[in-house]
Amino acid sequence: MSQKQKYVYELPIKVRDYEVDVEGIVNNANYLHYLEHTRHEFCEQAGLSFRQMTREGLTPVVRHIDITYLSSLGLGDTMISRIALERDGARFIFIQDIYAADGIRPVVKARVTIVSIENGRLGRGDRIAKAFAAYIKPCDDE
Amino acid sequence: MSQKQKYVYELPIKVRDYEVDVEGIVNNANYLHYLEHTRHEFCEQAGLSFRQMTREGLTPVVRHIDITYLSSLGLGDTMISRIALERDGARFIFIQDIYAADGIRPVVKARVTIVSIENGRLGRGDRIAKAFAAYIKPCDDE
Amino acid sequence: MSQKQKYVYELPIKVRDYEVDVEGIVNNANYLHYLEHTRHEFCEQAGLSFRQMTREGLTPVVRHIDITYLSSLGLGDTMISRIALERDGARFIFIQDIYAADGIRPVVKARVTIVSIENGRLGRGDRIAKAFAAYIKPCDDE
Amino acid sequence: MSQKQKYVYELPIKVRDYEVDVEGIVNNANYLHYLEHTRHEFCEQAGLSFRQMTREGLTPVVRHIDITYLSSLGLGDTMISRIALERDGARFIFIQDIYAADGIRPVVKARVTIVSIENGRLGRGDRIAKAFAAYIKPCDDE
């Protein structure tokens, strides 16, 4: 992660006051909400909303999340939530980094692994890969 | 509400630290979660869980909530969440009062009005009334 | 509420997928989050953010909420969250109505009563009234 | 993680219906709430509640979470949330595994790394280590 990620999507999100806990910072679980919301907005923009996936019998499922908390956000803060996307066989890896409003100070760095359940079974993910073709960075290119 | 409610159910709930906001008190929206959780636990005990209702084509829907915040809860606190139940035609009124751990200091007093959607239309609520017959206080008895 | 409210603020909010429950609709408690977020954004725009209030020793506290659920929102929906504001002595009444994206279909109608705790005691609310003077509808004008 | 963890604490937690999303399963972010709630209950039992830490100028901060989702929970389910604890210098690693009600089927496996901020600076964690001495598994013992 030392080299610059080639982000394919970014979304500004403003902290809602109720997401800030008694210590004055956004509670760690809320970042998973921000990450999910960013993924879903990205998917919608890519032309494959979660509603559509469901209609096609596809269920994207979160298998693994690795998240590092680097700095914190508080009341009234806005963040920039960015996505880079990789495919590793049947697994899609969303590299999701959240920055402070300046776009520079890193707040959270995460890798979210998604698999596609197709009609009840682990799928090969080809339908999803097709929808995201323009955004996926080949793994051998890393 | 000056006279003592005839509560038919009570549930102790412990505050989870993430429910406490930056002012050191449980955020107002979380009380709706506590009230819903208490209703669902009560329904399950009464032999009519929400899963069963769904299977029977019944969807209980919240129509109205009137909630007064009287005192606050903070980190580590436990509450006693109590229910009294009335029926008014097709509407079920859950009188839901939350007390501090001593069972005496009132924290929240709420009236939650539920209607039953049966197969997509507003139902008369007879199936639900039957399940809750032992718990419902007749309205003319007030 | 039959006559048109004179709304003084409106905020579009998009439903986040995790706010939608198993029945496919936004869970009732999340509307309190939307209402709070709208109030805080409004306050910030009016020049009196919650952070500033805290610094001045003012703590706005929710005393009462009356909320009617008229229709529902689901995955991918956007709402328009509107505010009208009245003062009744020490109490500020936020009339908060949420509409569907068309701005016409009502989703939720709520009255949220806020009091101001000033240095630990119930305050007269004059500092808040001053900040909101341009937005408050006199009660005798109703 | 092939060998049996030596758990030092376990807490049964019942799923609340509002934690279940439109796909009928507990949303991934809620597991971070369960993990946090379990840690806090454990700390309280160990005699060092988060309120006490705060009073002593200690702020435990989540630095990193690695979480694998193995199976899902739905409406009405109860889970068993277990903790094993390791120390690695200034870092405390909470190994937190959630099982289904049978205590056997794994639902989530997580490693949560906590550091201690003491009076605004990264601390050595000795005060926390002392409180948890009876529970910490030496790292060289792995």
Nearest CA distance, A141 vs chain B (angstrom): 41
- Going by C-alpha positions, the residue among B45, B46, B19, B14 that lies closest to residue B30 is B19
> In D, which residues are within 8 Å of C27 by CB distance?
18
Check D75 against B18: CB less than 8 A apart: no
**Which of the other chains make 3 or more beta carbon contacts under 8 angstroms with chain A?**
B, C, D
Whether B111 and B88 have beta carbons less than 8 Å apart is answered as no
Of the listed ranges A109-118, B10-19, D42-51, D92-101, the one predicted with least confidence: D42-51
Three-state DSSP class for residue B127: helix
- Which pLDDT tens digits describe chain A residue by residue (142 residues)? 444 678 999 999 999 999 998 888 999 999 999 999 999 999 988 888 777 887 888 888 999 999 999 999 999 999 999 999 999 988 999 999 999 999 999 999 999 999 988 878 888 888 888 888 889 876 544 4
Q: What percent of chain C has pLDDT over 90?
A: 58
Whether C73 and C79 have beta carbons less than 8 Å apart is answered as yes
pLDDT higher than threshold 70 for residue D2: no
Long-range own/partner contacts, residues D96-104 (CB < 8 A, 24 or more apart): D96/D35, D96/D38, D96/D39, D97/D5, D97/D7, D98/D31, D98/D34, D98/D35, D100/D71, D100/D73, D101/D12, D101/D77
- The chain B residue lying nearest A27, using CA atoms, is B18
Cα(B81)–Cα(B76) distance, integer angstroms: 16
Give tens-digit pLDDT for A66-84: 999 999 999 999 999 999 9
Pairing of strands C78-88, A58-69: unpaired
State the DSSP string of A8-47. Answer: -EEEEEEPPGGGBBTTSSB-HHHHHHHHHHHHHHHHHHTT
Q: What percent of chain D has pLDDT over 70?
A: 94
Give tens-digit pLDDT for C48-78: 877 788 788 888 899 999 999 999 999 999 9
Report which of residues C28 and D47 the model is more confident about.
Answer: C28
Amino acid C119: pLDDT:
79
Q: What percent of chain A has pLDDT over 70?
A: 94
Whether B100 and B56 have beta carbons less than 8 Å apart is answered as no
Label residue C89 by pLDDT band (50, 70, 90). confident
Check C64 against B69: CB less than 8 A apart: yes
The predicted complex's ipTM stands at: 0.90
Query: Does an H or E element contain B68, and which?
Result: strand B58-69
- Going by C-alpha positions, the residue among C1, C11, C33 that lies closest to residue C109 is C1
Cα(B130)–Cα(D133) distance, integer angstroms: 55
Nearest CA distance, B17 vs chain C (angstrom): 18
Whether D64 and D121 have beta carbons less than 8 Å apart is answered as no
Amino acid B138: pLDDT:
62
Cα(C127)–Cα(C116) distance, integer angstroms: 9
Amino acid B4: pLDDT:
63
C-alpha dihedral sign at B86, B87, B88, B93: positive
Give tens-digit pLDDT for D51-81: 788 788 888 899 999 999 999 999 989 999 9
Q: Using beta carbons and an 8 Å cutoff, which residues of C are at the interface with A?
A: 16-18, 33, 36-37, 40, 44, 49-51, 75-76
Amino acid D131: pLDDT:
83
Query: Does an H or E element contain C132, and which?
Result: none
Query: Does an H or E element contain B27, and which?
Result: none
Q: What is the mean pLDDT of chain D?
A: 89
